[in-house]
A and B are shown apart, each in its own frame.
Chain A
Amino acid sequence: MERELQRYGPLRWDFERGAVGCAAGLIAWRPVARAPYRPQLIDKCIGSRIWLLLHGESELVGTLCGFDQHVNMVLEDVTEIQVNPDGSRLQLPVRKSMLLSGNNIAMLIPGGSPSDISA
Chain B
Amino acid sequence: MSPEDAVASVPLAGSRKSPSEYVASMRGKKVIVKLIGGSIFKGYLASLDGYLNIALEQTEEWNSEGTGVIGTFGDALIRGNNVYYISLEE
Contacts and interface: CB of A to CB of B under 8 A. Distances in A.
Given A95-B87, A99-B87, A104-B36, A46 B8 contact: no
A8 to B, nearest CB: 9
Contact of A56 (B23, B36, B86): B36
Contacts of B18: 66-68, 74
Interface in A32-52: 40, 43-48
Interface string B71-90: 00000000011011111101
A1 interface: yes
A47 B15 contact: yes
Interface string A57-78: 0000001111110001110001
A97 interface: yes
Main secondary structure of the interface of B (DSSP, over half): mixed
Interface residues of A, number: 33
A17 interface: no
B81 A103 contact: yes
A95 B33 CA distance: 12
B19 A74 contact: yes
B85 to A, nearest CB: 5
Contacts of B23: 99
B85 A100 contact: yes
Interface of A: 1, 3-4, 7, 40, 43-48, 56, 63-68, 72-74, 78, 92-93, 95-101, 103-104
7 contacts: A7-B8, A46-B13, A72-B19, A98-B85, A99-B87, A101-B52, A101-B80
Given A43-B10, A99-B23, A100-B85, 4 more contacts: A43-B12, A47-B13, A73-B19, A99-B86
